Amino acid sequence: MNNSELIEIAIDARKNSYAPYSNFNVGAVVVTDTNEVYTGCNIENAAYSPSVCAERTAIFKAISEGASKIRKIIVVGSEDFTFPCGVCRQVIKEFASEDCEIIVVNSKKEYKIYLLKELLPNSFGPENLRRKNV
């Protein structure tokens, strides 16, 4: 599936967003290392902290269905380019392949592609917990 098709799917996923407090609707798509596609939308809660972003919804759906690595994430917000928040970036780090692309979308024809290491430099991940003390 090409990026244009994935962007369309993310735009459709955004329609399911539940954002009555922020009115900021987000849709996301993740593509796994086996090319399976999972969608997500943001889901808010009046208590705010139980809210979950679209990216994490899609990632958790993929992992709960047996996926092991995410290789691409598409994020479509309500306006302008919408980047993953810090919590989402950390979750992406946990489940992403080394060359994971993060695509932020402004419109169907205008998007930017980043690698996770560009959005989360000097990150802390599972590999850091396997190191021996020096």
Which amino acids are annotated catalytic? 55
What are the φ/ψ torsions at residue 92 (nearest 5 degrees)?
-60, -45
Place of tokens 């996770």: 116
3-state secondary structure at position 101: strand
What is d(CA 82, CA 110) in angstroms, rounded to the nearest whole number? Answer: 12
> Which one, of 50, 48, 6, 49, lies nearest residue 28 by Cα?
6
Q: For 11-23, give one letter per residue: b (16+ CB within 10 A) or e.
A: bebbeebebeeee
CA distance 52 to 42: 6
